[in-house]
Each structure stands twice: as structure tokens, then as C-alpha cells.
Amino acid sequence: MNSTRRTAQINTVRARVLARLQQAPGAMTGQAIAQALGLPYKPVVDALVALNNQGKVWRIGRKFTAQWTAHPPPSEQERALTHLDRLFRP
């Protein structure tokens, strides 16, 4: 029974974290996600790592400064085109 309850709780945290990231206009830190959801930091980070392993979220950066996003990060080509567009836009 404890195992089932814990699994349901983990899935709920993952679902809430994923929903929050999908609503966010950009990347967020783990701390910002935890504060926005009113959850402790550790379960949020555990959920983010699990979602990252499933390919549902992406981490930009490392350790405590990492930003998380539900949208795939731009490719090198997309970033280069965006940079050129900004340079030559009147």
C-alpha cells in the first residue's frame, strides 16, 4: 500500500512540474519551480531529473544554476539564424 501511495505521489509531483514548465514562457530554475508550486525543493528536483530522463524536459546548464524547460532547446543552426536576424534587423 505504501508503495502504491508513493508512486501516485511521485507521479502527481511530476505531472505538476511538467504542467508548470509547459505554461512557463521560458526556462525556470528548480528553486523557482518549487516556489511557484509550493513544494519542497528536493521532490521537484527529483521530478525534473526523472522527466529529463524520459525526454519530456530539458536542462540548460549545470547543478544549482540549471534552467529547466519543457520546450526543446534551440539547435545551433536556429541560434545562429536568430543571432544573424538580430544583427541585421533594422
pLDDT digits (tens, 9 = 90+) for 17-74: 999 999 999 899 999 999 999 999 999 999 999 999 998 999 988 887 899 999 777 7
pTM exceeding 0.85: no
Q: Coil, strand, or helix at residue 58?
A: strand
Q: Which three cell numbers stand for residue 34?
A: 518549487
Other C-beta atoms closer than 10 Å to the C-beta of 41 total 12
- Return the sign of the alpha-carbon dihedral for residues 72, 12, 48, 25: positive
- Contact in structure between 50 and 17 (CB atoms under 8 Å): no
- Return the sign of the alpha-carbon dihedral for residues 53, 55, 60, 66: negative
